[in-house]
Structure 1
Amino acid sequence: MEQKLIDQLNEWHEVDEHQRIIDSLSQIPDEERDYESISLLARAYNNLGLYKEALYQFDKISEAGKEDSLWHYRVGFALYHLKRYEEAAQAFNRSDQLEPGVKSTEYFLRMSTHKAKKQKKEELRLAKKQANFERGGSAAKKSPFSDMFLTDFWDDSGYARTSYQSEPPTDELIDSIEKELCYKLPSSYIHLMKHQNGGVPKNTYFPTQEPTSWAEDHIAITGIMGIGREKSYSLGGDLGSPFMIEEWGYPDIGVVICDCPSAGHDVVMLDYRACGKAGEPEVVHVDQEDDYEITFLADNFEEFIKGLVSEEQYDTSEEDKEEALDKVAHGKFSPLLEELCSPVTEVEQVEQKIRSICTRIVEEKGHFSFHADELSYVMYDVQFWLYTKSYPDTSRDQYAAAYQNIIAFGGEFGQGGYGPSFITDWLDHRIEEGRIVKNHGIIRFTNAFAKEVINKLNEG
């Protein structure tokens, strides 16, 4: 393939014009495409989320790609997003063997290995349960929640009444909602909703055997959706189950019944995969921030409700806050953050200014994490300014890959993880504002906004 075309394709790649790459390379007859053209074509399919087509293209050059670490990485990337985690782990492992020390490869290898183990465990559990149903077994009949339990279950608040709570559902409404959802709702859920149709329980935490994006050993819910369409947080409401599945991309395995404090980035669902649409569903946690990873919670809805516990059971907030404050005050910067701070002359004692802003974040939140709040945006800005100051020819993809090594996975002065969508949302927001500009695939702050960031850093 001619170098001029390669340069053009890479330029389109840097500005996210992946369809143009596909259109251009598709004009070349199949028999005339070489290894590089097929690699770039498959990469474009990957970047558009067309992972099956990407794998089809990669397969054409599998023999030539055996010793190419990038080929294995890109194959692994497609397999990972197709949730073929065991195969993805094998691909990333081979890529790491061929080119050790690549941070993105190490990250995906670690994640694929973890997800492959969890996926296998989940498949075995579902198969066992499905076999039980096929043999004629079923969950034992549950007695209704006791009046004493229900009397002390709900938290009466203006927010709950406004956002969740509706009049008790009629049989006609229940039938209508079930037909809309295409699932039979559990009798225990209907019983609870006839007592109070949606709301916020007093106990909002549920223990887990595995870590999630929320915590190592539990999840939290904000409220329980009622049966109806009137309230935003009801099954058929504008933020209800169909909306979360159709608009947010949650898996079509059942019914979203609880929202979580992440404002849409994780939910609790009734899972009908093992029992069928008219059976007794399990309850699972689904994590959008972790590629919609599913974590088993309870065998049925009643078990889930009775398993909810008070947040006080997990309240280590004071200890966590003190630990986080010590981390941001004294934790050693990552090698990359040290490198980025070293040449800075526009801000005196830039390291201390960064620590000062992060201390304010911990004081406000009680933990060290960046989300979509004002101070988090300041730190997104600071990291981007530092990185592009040292690496001025940075593309969007390059920065997205480098970001995790600045603070997110920064060791002592680090957060141990991050939500990639928060970074891309921040990037898109700054681009829409005109504060980040693109030129031939290179992204940077405008001079005016760079001065604003410097001023905020100087203020600490």
Structure 2
Amino acid sequence: MNQTLFEQLNKWHEEDEHQKIVDLLIAIPDEELDYDAISRLARAYNNLGLYEEGLSQFDKISEAGKQDPLWHYRVGFALYYLKRYEESVEAFRKSDQLEPDNQSTEYFLSHSIQKAEKQKREELRLAKKKASLEHSSSVTEKALFSDIFLADFWEDSEYAKEDYQSEPPTDELINSIEQELGYKLPSSYIQLMKHQNGGVPKNTNFPTQEPTSWAEDHIAITGIMGIGREKSYSLCGDGGSQFMIEEWGYPDIGVVICDCPSAGHDVIMLDYRACGKDGEPEVIHVDQEDDYEITFLADNFEEFIKGLVNEEQYDTSEEDKKEALDKVAHGKFSPLLERLCSRVTEVEQVEQKIRSICTRIVEEKGHFSFHADELSYVMYDVQFWLYTKSYPNTSREQYLAVYQNIIAFGGEFGQRGYAPSFITDWLDARIREERIVQDDGVIRFTSSYAEEVIIKLKEA
């Protein structure tokens, strides 16, 4: 590979312009591509999420890559995100043997082993459930929720009435929703919805045997979707089951039944894989943040509802605050945030300034998250200034797409989720205030407001 091409590919890689790498390299005849060029092409496919295409390229240089730890690492990376965990274990293990003590390799090797074991358990559990259902000769009539249970189940709140709660569903509406979803809803769910059609329960936590993105030993829900179309958080509402499957990419294996506090980055689903579309579904947690990983919760909806416990049982606010303070003080920045900070000359020790602002946020809230408060807006401003300083030709769409890679999903120094509406609300507010201007599709701070942001950083 000539030096000019080498430098261009490196530049595009640093700028996350992976499609440009692909477009350039696939235009070159195969016989003119050497080992390094094909490896970079495969890496670019990986970075675009096109893992099958990446593996296809890696396969072309498999013989030459046998003793290259980076080749095995990148193959393992593709296999990992294709959920071929047993194969990814082999690839990362070989990479680790060839280059011991590489932290990234050790991280993926450890997680591949865990996920391979979980995948095996899940496959075995589903196989047993299917076999049990096939050999079952009678249908057990399930107990319904008692009046005493129902009387103390729901939280009375204006938020629930506004976003979740509808009139009790008629049989005609239930049939219509079932036809639209393509699944028969559990009788226990229908009974609960006829008592109150959607809402926020008093108990919002459910214990788990395995850790998830939410906690080591439990998950939390925000509310239970009702049967209908009008409310945002109803099964066929604009934030309902079909929206989460079609727009957010959740697996098409059933019905999204509960949303979670992560603002879309994990949900609770009714899982019909074992029972079929007319059977009694299991209840699972699906973690979008962890490549839609599934965690089994309960054999049926009734068991899930009766297993909900109050959040006070998992009150770890003091420990959470301590952990969050340690994160913002010492957590490693995301590669993108590191790169953006490295290009700052206007503010000395900009990394520590960012950590200082975020420490104040944690002290005020008890956790590390940005919302619509004053300090959060400071951090929205800081991130925008950092990014558009390095990438001055950024459009609104481009920034909204890249935002999550700065801090929201920033690894150690990250928040494990965010609500996109907070970012769009901040952006719209700054445009109305004429602090952000748009020129030919490009958005940027005005010079005067950029100076204000710099001053706030210096004073942090």
Q: TM-score range by the shorter chain?
A: 0.7 to 0.9
- Indicate how the Cα distance of structure 1 residues 372 and 326 shifts in structure 2: closer, same or farther if over 3 A, else same: closer
Checking the alignment, whether the CA contact within 8 Å between 1:328 and 1:359 is kept in structure 2 is no
- Offset from partner CA, 1:375-396 (integer Å, 9 cap, x none): 4675688799999x9xxxxxx9
Distance in 2, matches of 1:64 and 1:328, equals 41
Partner of 1:35: 35
- Indicate how the Cα distance of structure 1 residues 76 and 422 shifts in structure 2: closer, same or farther if over 3 A, else same: farther
- Indicate how the Cα distance of structure 1 residues 165 and 458 shifts in structure 2: closer, same or farther if over 3 A, else same: same
Partner of 1:254: 254
Q: How does 1:265-414 map to 2 (within 5 A)?
A: 265-318=265-318, 320-321=320-321, 323-324=322-323, 327=326, 356-367=356-367, 369-371=368-370, 375=375, 409=412
- Indicate how the Cα distance of structure 1 residues 36 and 372 shifts in structure 2: closer, same or farther if over 3 A, else same: farther
Distance in 2, matches of 1:333 and 1:192, equals 44
- Offset from partner CA, 1:122-160 (integer Å, 9 cap, x none): 111111111212223677321211111111111122111
- Judge which range, 224-233 or 374-383, deviates more: 374-383
Cα drift, residue 236 of structure 1: 0.5
Distance in 1, matches of 2:97 and 2:385, equals 34
Partner of 2:205: 205
TM-score (norm. length: structure 2): 0.79
Distance in 2, matches of 1:12 and 1:353, equals 29
SS in 2 for 1:190: helix
- State the one-letter code of the partner of 1:60: K
- Indicate how the Cα distance of structure 1 residues 26 and 278 shifts in structure 2: closer, same or farther if over 3 A, else same: same
SS in 1 for 2:258: strand
Partner of 2:126: 126
Distance in 2, matches of 1:454 and 1:17, equals 28
Is 2:97 the partner of 1:97?
yes
SS in 1 for 2:46: helix
SS in 1 for 2:115: helix
- Indicate how the Cα distance of structure 1 residues 327 and 9 shifts in structure 2: closer, same or farther if over 3 A, else same: closer
Distance in 2, matches of 1:6 and 1:349, equals 32
Partner of 2:416: 419
Cα drift, residue 348 of structure 1: 8.7
- Indicate how the Cα distance of structure 1 residues 422 and 456 shifts in structure 2: closer, same or farther if over 3 A, else same: farther
Unmatched 5+ residue regions in structure 1?
A: 390-395, 410-414, 436-444
Cα drift, residue 211 of structure 1: 1.4
Cα drift, residue 353 of structure 1: 5.9
- State the one-letter code of the partner of 2:152: D
Cα drift, residue 210 of structure 1: 1.2
Cα drift, residue 206 of structure 1: 0.9
Is 2:149 the partner of 1:152?
no
- Indicate how the Cα distance of structure 1 residues 325 and 196 shifts in structure 2: closer, same or farther if over 3 A, else same: closer
Q: How does 1:46-195 map to 2 (within 5 A)?
A: 46-136=46-136, 140-195=140-195
Unmatched 5+ residue regions in structure 2?
A: 390-398, 437-444
SS in 1 for 2:295: strand
Name the % identity. 73
Cα drift, residue 371 of structure 1: 4.9
- State the one-letter code of the partner of 1:419: R
- Offset from partner CA, 1:20-53 (integer Å, 9 cap, x none): 4333333333444332232222222222221112
SS in 2 for 1:90: helix
Partner of 1:214: 214
Distance in 1, matches of 2:333 and 2:222, equals 39
Distance in 1, matches of 2:85 and 2:232, equals 36
Checking the alignment, whether the CA contact within 8 Å between 1:39 and 1:58 is kept in structure 2 is yes
Partner of 1:224: 224
Is 2:8 the partner of 1:8?
yes
- Indicate how the Cα distance of structure 1 residues 353 and 11 shifts in structure 2: closer, same or farther if over 3 A, else same: closer
- Offset from partner CA, 1:349-385 (integer Å, 9 cap, x none): 9898666534422233223x34566646756887999
Cα drift, residue 454 of structure 1: 4.6
Checking the alignment, whether the CA contact within 8 Å between 1:289 and 1:421 is kept in structure 2 is no
- Indicate how the Cα distance of structure 1 residues 28 and 376 shifts in structure 2: closer, same or farther if over 3 A, else same: same
- Indicate how the Cα distance of structure 1 residues 207 and 458 shifts in structure 2: closer, same or farther if over 3 A, else same: same
Cα drift, residue 270 of structure 1: 0.4
Checking the alignment, whether the CA contact within 8 Å between 1:139 and 1:280 is kept in structure 2 is no
Alignment RMSD: 4.2
- State the one-letter code of the partner of 1:86: E
Partner of 1:412: none
- Indicate how the Cα distance of structure 1 residues 212 and 380 shifts in structure 2: closer, same or farther if over 3 A, else same: farther
Is 2:456 the partner of 1:459?
no
- Judge which range, 86-95 or 228-237, deviates more: 86-95
Distance in 2, matches of 1:325 and 1:280, equals 40
Checking the alignment, whether the CA contact within 8 Å between 2:265 and 2:417 is kept in structure 1 is no
- Indicate how the Cα distance of structure 1 residues 252 and 334 shifts in structure 2: closer, same or farther if over 3 A, else same: closer
Cα drift, residue 237 of structure 1: 0.4
- Judge which range, 59-68 or 230-239, deviates more: 59-68
Partner of 1:438: none
Cα drift, residue 277 of structure 1: 1.3
Cα drift, residue 459 of structure 1: 3.2
Cα drift, residue 333 of structure 1: 7.7
- State the one-letter code of the partner of 1:150: L
Checking the alignment, whether the CA contact within 8 Å between 2:263 and 2:417 is kept in structure 1 is no
- Offset from partner CA, 1:85-141 (integer Å, 9 cap, x none): 222232223223333444433332232222222222211111111121222367732
Flag the structure with more relative contact order, 1 or 2, with Cα contacts below 8 A and sequence separation at least 6. Answer: 1
Partner of 1:439: none
SS in 1 for 2:232: coil
Checking the alignment, whether the CA contact within 8 Å between 1:286 and 1:293 is kept in structure 2 is yes
- State the one-letter code of the partner of 2:264: G
Corresponding residue pairs, total:
430
- Indicate how the Cα distance of structure 1 residues 418 and 95 shifts in structure 2: closer, same or farther if over 3 A, else same: farther
- Indicate how the Cα distance of structure 1 residues 279 and 55 shifts in structure 2: closer, same or farther if over 3 A, else same: same
- State the one-letter code of the partner of 1:267: V
Cα drift, residue 246 of structure 1: 0.5
- Offset from partner CA, 1:177-201 (integer Å, 9 cap, x none): 1111111111111111111111111
SS in 2 for 1:201: coil
- State the one-letter code of the partner of 2:273: R
- Offset from partner CA, 1:394-414 (integer Å, 9 cap, x none): xx9xx99x989xx954xxxxx
Distance in 2, matches of 1:110 and 1:116, equals 10
- Judge which range, 68-77 or 295-304, deviates more: 68-77
- Indicate how the Cα distance of structure 1 residues 51 and 353 shifts in structure 2: closer, same or farther if over 3 A, else same: closer
Distance in 1, matches of 2:135 and 2:346, equals 72
Cα drift, residue 233 of structure 1: 0.5
Partner of 1:393: none
